[in-house]
Amino acid sequence: MRRLVSAALMLLLVLCPALAGCSASNAIKIGVLSISSGPDAYVGQASELALQDRVAEVNAAGGINGRKLELVIYDTRGEVTEAVSAARRLIEQDKVTAIIGPSWSGAAIPVAAIADAAQVPVVATTASNVLVTVDENGAVRPYMFRVCFIDPYQGYALADFAARELGKKQAAFITDISSPYSVGIQQYFGAQFTALGGQIVAEEGYQANETEFRPQLTKVAASGADVLLVPSATYRDIALVAKQATGLGLQIQYLGVDGWMADELLAMSGPELEGAYLASGVSTEAPEFQAYNAAFLAKHNVKASVYAYYSLDALMALEYAIRQAGAEVSGPAIRAALEGIRDVPVFTSSLTIEPDTHNPHNKPVVILQIQNSQWVNVKTYEPR
Amino acid sequence: MTIILQQLVSGLSIGAVYALLAVGYALVYSIYGFTNWSFDALLVSAAFGAYYALSLFKLPLWAAVLAALALGIGLALMLELFAYRPLRRRGAPRVLMLISAMGANLALINLINLAFGGALRAFPPFLSGSWQVAGIAIGRLDALAALLALLLLAGLRWLLYHTRAGLGIRASTMDFTTASLMGVDNNALALLVFGISGVLAGVSGVVYGMKYAVYPYLGLVTLKAMIAAVIGGLGSLEGALLGSLLLGVLETFVSAFISSTYRDLFSFAALVLILLIFPNGLLGARRPPILEG
């Protein structure tokens, strides 16, 4: 008998916090697939803080339709398997209403399949591969959305910039063949660059976690290329390419992609990459963000980043959709509201979602240059 | 022609640093008959040690290298004392030593990741730049790394063949049990062997950190070194050196003249072929496994 009582007490003790959690809140839970450890921890660090700030703000103002927001953040460590299991955990255990993230295409594509099956809307932040929101046949993935531009835009913009503005004729690239993001941009760049009369003289590849790029760089040097595209979102790869190229005596015009936007890259190989051009959706240097950046830095002692901006865009799109859904806070209702987003102000700009692709409409591509180890705006491309 | 020579130089410089690690694997394997998977963690700890000695404590380079060596040796000895020796004492099968090494490795790497974070850290520039010899760039750091590798291997050879301790090690590689019956102090020998492997891991940690960057997963490269040791003939020091240089050059040439995209496919298929022709590796002795029964 005594054993039974103590067992019951134990059970109560274990269940108490869980029960309390259930009863205390009717908050709307939003899951976040973040990266807060591993080499890409810089992606999640500022984003999580920005999201928490924003949620606190919304809740202080009374929440949405009388309900508070609650973030459930998981660290995916930048690994696809972790992102997939975290997405499942968010949906099955935490019963979140919607999910923000992930930030990279390799994880966003499998997460989209899970979201569709469970009818939980996902707003990806910086996952820019075309196949994140549509399948191979071009059919939209109903529950997957994103707030960043897609890779063809930046591939085209970079090729156009290299051929027309810089007058380059012979391009080479070093592509991470294990990343759909990297491969995608390289293909769109190549197609547009050759269409503009340029020539691809070296197509080099490597796989994730590679540290030796000298064989490829030696070939690039021998190919006579006058511009080198490094479509990577891993600053280690980019920094090592730049350092090893310098070691081999290779002086070349670099072209980069939006995944380059990490101050860590400048810290590692700013001098080697001086003069490089890259595409990005937004720039932290833009005047309209300076007040936010300064306040963020003062409050957290961490610099705001484009990843934080995109996370805020995703959250604000969700806020709008939840508000539109009204009393019916369900996956299908929020999905429908997200699809109907037209000219809704979000953090970086005003957002319109294309219903047939779930991409933001007319996101510009900004071309930046690395000057004195700073990102400097040089040109803005509006999609045609 | 220049491009072939340039690729050869790159390949040899890649292989030279594989060699430092491959020799460490070979040494431990030849005596204890298991693959010391904790090498990864030793290398990474040493790299972090050297990095923080330079950046945080502002020590001169020689002191940072000493700190890396101390970390490498210290950790290697701790692993021997707490992870391997208790197993050996109880006569555990060799596969358990391997699992113990893997477990220690994962634990240490994760600890480093948690404690310091996954960000990349760049060593202050040291010996950056390269010499231009007849149109071929030879990295100064690469040259130093290759020189260090050769010096260490020569030193190790001298120790093995011209000292009493070396005689003990060689006797143990032939037959561990009999050697101990002949008066070789097993435990002292183990400390010496793991200490040497700590030195090798420490030096390669500094070299890798300088060549690439310092981060918790820097040690993934040890897998390549392990493969190089197998190709050369596990247990043979010369074989480890040969296998390492071969692997470095093979990888580079496949990248350069076949396809960089399919580098691992072609270079490792070639390695399988080598093993099919030389089942014991290029210089591996054909002998019954040590420590059996």
Residue B80 lies in a domain: yes
Q: Which of A204, A215, A235 sits opposite B120 (nearest CB)?
A: A235
Domain count for chain B, please give it: 1
Q: Give the distance from residue A34's alpha carbon to the nearest chain B alpha carbon, in angstroms.
A: 14
Q: What does the CA dihedral A141, A143, A147, A150 come to, rounded to 10 degrees?
A: -10
CB A338 within 8 A of CB A324: no
Residue B139 forms contact with A (CB below 8 Å) = yes
The mean pLDDT of chain A is 90
- The fold adopted by the segment(s) A151-280+365-381 is Rossmann fold (3.40.50)
User: For residue A213, how far is the Cα from the chain centroid?
Assistant: 26
Confidence category of residue B289, pLDDT binned at 50, 70, 90? very low
Among B3, B211, B221, whose Cβ lies nearest the Cβ of A218?
B3
Between CA A204 and CA A173 the distance in angstroms is 6
CB distance A47 to A55 below 8 Å: no
Q: Does A305 or B122 have the greater pLDDT score? A: A305
A138 touches B: beta carbon within 8 Å = no
CA distance A133 to A362: 16
Q: Quick one: which of B267, B237, B231, B228 has its CA closest to B18?
A: B228
* Dist CA A203 CA A206 (whole Å): 11
Spatial contact of A68 and A84, defined as CB atoms under 8 Å apart: no
Indicate the average pLDDT of chain B: 86
Judge whether A248 is closer than 8 Å to chain B, CB to CB.
yes
Q: Does B113 touch chain A (CB under 8 A)?
A: yes
| A23 — pLDDT class (breaks 50, 70, 90) | very low
Give me the residue from B130, B139, B255 closest to A215, CB to CB. Answer: B255
What amino acid occupies position B12? L
A242/A245 Cα distance (integer angstroms) = 5
pLDDT of residue B160: 86
Per-window interface: A 319-338 vs B, CB < 8 A: none
Chain B residues whose beta carbon lies within 8 Å of the beta carbon of residue A267: 122
User: What integer pLDDT is reported at residue A19 of this predicted model?
Assistant: 46
Please give the pLDDT value at position B119.
Answer: 78
> Looking at CA atoms only, how far is residue B62 from chain A in angstroms?
23
* Domain of B150, in residue numbers: 18-277
What's CA B126's distance to the chain center, in Å? Answer: 22
Would B246 be classed as within a structural domain? Answer: yes
Residue B154 lies in a domain: yes
Task: Give the gap in angstroms from C-alpha A74 to the nearest C-alpha of chain B.
Answer: 16
Reduced to 3 states (helix: H, G, I; strand: E, B; else coil), residue A140 is strand
Residue B5: inside a domain = no
In a domain, residue B285? The reply is no
Residues 257-276 of chain B whose Cβ lies under 8 A from any Cβ of chain A: 259-261, 263-264
Least confident of A231-240, A338-347, B60-69, B216-225: B216-225
CB contact under 8 A, A211 and B212: yes
Band the pLDDT of A8: cuts 50, 70, 90. low
- Whether residue B282 is contained in a domain is answered as no
Q: How far apart are CA A383 and CA B59, in angstroms?
A: 53
ipTM of the prediction: 0.79
- pLDDT tens digits, residue range A231-240? 998 899 999 9
pLDDT, tens digit (0-9, with 9 covering 90-100), for B174-196: 777 788 888 888 888 889 999 99
Q: Which of residues 25-54 of B touch A (CB under 8 A)?
A: none
Shortest distance, CA A79 to any CA of chain B (angstroms)? 13
Most trustworthy range by pLDDT among A33-37, A191-195, B79-83, B235-239: A191-195
> Is the minimum CB–CB distance between A207 and chain B shorter than 8 Å?
yes
A247 has a chain B CB within 8 A of its CB: yes
Residue of A207, A211, A269 with shortest CB distance to B264: A207
Q: How high is the pLDDT of residue B290?
A: 40
Q: pLDDT tier at A291 (50, 70, 90 boundaries)? A: very high
Residue with tokens 């918790």: B216
List the 74-103 stretch of A: residues with Cβ below 8 A of B: 77
Partner A contacted by B204 (CB < 8 A): no
DSSP result, B166-230: HHHHHHHHH-HHHHHHTT--HHHHHHHHHHHHHHHHHHHHHHHHHHS-B-GGGGGGHHHHHHHHH
Counting residues of chain A whose pLDDT is more than 90, the rounded percentage is 70
* Interface with A, mutate which of B3, B8, B260, B268 (most A CBs under 10 A): B260
Task: Write phi, then psi, for B70 (nearest 5 degrees).
Answer: -60, -40
In a domain, B204, yes or no: yes
Q: Return the CATH number at B227.
A: 1.10.3470
A37 near B CB under 8 A = yes
A221-233 confidence digits (pLDDT tens): 999 999 999 999 8
Within chain A, which residue ranges are assigned CATH 3.40.50.2300?
A: 28-148+289-351, 151-280+365-381
Measured in whole angstroms, how far is the alpha carbon of residue A190 from the centre of its chain?
23
Query: What is A28-148+289-351's CATH topology?
Result: Rossmann fold (3.40.50)
